[in-house]
Amino acid sequence: MSAAQSDAKPKRPTCPSCSKPARVCLCSRIRTRNLDNSISITILQHSLERNHPLNSTRIAKLGLKNLNVVTVFEVDFEARFEIRLLEPGLGLIGPESSGFDQVREKGMTQKAGFEVKGDGKCQDEKNRDLIDENESPCEKLDKGSHVDAINGEGVVINATMIKYGVVSHLSHIWKVDTHGKKPKFEHIVTSTMAKEALRGGFVVKKLGRKKLEGNMEVELEESEEFEIKVPQGSVLLFPSQNAIGVDELKSMHFEVKNLIVLDGTWSKAGRVYNENPWLKLLPHLRLDLDRMSLYSEIRSQPKVGCLSTIESIVYSLKALGEKVDGLENLLDVFESMVGDQRRLKDERLSKRTKD
């Protein structure tokens, strides 16, 4: 054995379930694992958060049954997004009022310059200047809105993104008026038919592209990063300008079935949001809580109400009426994890002082 090998510190044992060091394992602190939450959770986790010692998604993975964690990488060179409908025929015949419509219209129609009225007409009937005068608008949409309209594989939205959240290309099967502006995802939800189709849920696939530099030329390598099912009744927990509170959501009779949460520091979560423009197709939910996170003593939080991932999930589920017992225990486990980190920090400081 070499001197370097003999001097190397032994790797400390780590729990395979919670990925914490064995001495601060969280598993025994959770009273009931796999709580059967009726509102499913989808966590989009920034790739640099996975191994952070204070990341609280590990508690959600242990405690909640209906949970899906998706690792999201920042765009390295270029990324493509393909979106397919879960119910391909929905929204291709005519509009139908829904809670999804109400939530989307409240935040998006005013911003995009549209006034969508419940008059039973498809969007193109209100914008006849955009279509062939000899063709019925709804017939045109019906014929052009089949899910093979873009590439023959059921894709209804196709987008390409480069670094820093810049969408370089966007195409979709719906006819909308962008008022001469560059097409954005926000424009899609100004179409009544698009909203109705998306209301039934969709699947989004992200394909990352990287440059492979050879001797003579630059080649691109494309690989699938994720494919996510976004079911009917999905909302994004994110305090955007157009986000609404829980009470307002309930007043619209919108039944939340799936809660999407971004996991990372606030700057990382912001990058996940900006580099996944399909999130703008969803209603945005905010939590109106006037409390500091348990993180505040050991991890910087920008302001009151900025919570950890597990705190955001638990408080959201409770506000939305989730009845499963045991949610409070997940917060207790998180508090103990923060306490562990504080104690270990104090121990390191004490050791340095003695040395």
Nearest to 172 by CA among 84, 41, 290, 78: 84
Residues 220 and 263 in one domain: no
The amino acid present at 89, given as its one-letter code, is: G
* Together in a domain, 80 and 65: no
Domain end call among 232, 248, 266: 232
**Percent of the chain residues topping a pLDDT of 70:** 71
Position 9 in a domain: no
- Do residue 81 and residue 183 come from a single domain? yes
Neighbours of 180 (CB within 10 A): 5
State whether 81 and 169 are in the same domain.
yes
Lateral strand order in the sheet of 78-85: 166-172, 155-162, 78-85, 201-213, 218-231
Contact 86, 304 (CB under 8 A): no
259-303 residue pLDDT tens: 999 999 889 999 999 999 999 999 999 998 876 566 555 555 545
- Tokens 């030329």 locate to 217
Asked if residue 307 and residue 212 are part of one domain, the reply reads no
Q: Confirm whether 175 is domain-assigned.
A: yes
In a domain, 285, yes or no: yes
Is residue 144 very low, low, confident or very high in pLDDT (cuts 50, 70, 90)? very low
Q: What is the domain range of residue 188?
A: 74-88+149-232
User: Structurally, how many domains does the chain consist of?
Assistant: 2
Q: Looking at the domain assignment, is residue 173 inside a domain?
A: yes
Tell whether 169 and 239 lie within a shared domain.
no
pLDDT attached to residue 47 = 95
- Estimate to the nearest angstrom the gap between the alpha carbon of 67 and the chain centroid: 13
Pair 220, 315 in one domain: no
Q: Are residues 264 and 307 in the same domain?
A: yes
175 and 237 together in one domain: no
Helices 327-354 and 309-319, axial angle in degrees (round to 10): 160
Look at residue 96 and tell me if it is in a domain. no
Segment 43-76, tens digit of pLDDT: 999 999 988 888 999 999 999 999 999 999 999 8
Instruction: Between 142 and 171, name the one with better pLDDT.
Output: 171
Residues 186, 267, 225: CA angle, nearest 5 degrees: 65
Total-model pTM: 0.79
In a domain, 19, yes or no: no
Asked which of 212, 232, 252 is the last residue of a domain, the reply is 232
Q: Which of 216, 232, 248 is the last residue of a domain?
A: 232
Query: For the domain that residue 339 is a member of, what is the CATH number?
Result: 3.40.50
Residue 64 lies in a domain: yes
Long-range pairs for 140-147: beta carbons < 8 A, 24 or more residues apart: 140/175, 141/92, 141/174, 141/175, 141/193, 142/92, 142/93, 144/173, 144/175, 145/92, 145/173, 145/174, 145/193, 145/197, 146/88, 146/92, 146/173, 147/84, 147/85, 147/88, 147/173
**Mean pLDDT value across the chain:** 80
Same domain, 187 and 203: yes
Of the two residues 125 and 233, the one the predictor is more confident about is 233
Residue 284 placed within a domain: yes
Which of 59-62's residues contact partners 24+ apart within 8 Å by CB, and which partners? 59/18, 59/26, 59/30, 59/310, 59/330, 59/333, 59/334, 59/337, 60/309, 60/310, 60/313, 60/330, 62/17, 62/18, 62/26, 62/27, 62/30, 62/33
pLDDT exceeds 90 at position 310: yes
Are 246 and 194 contained in the same domain?
no
Let me know: does 67 contact 39? Beta carbons within 8 Å: no
Are residues 184 and 80 part of one domain?
Answer: yes
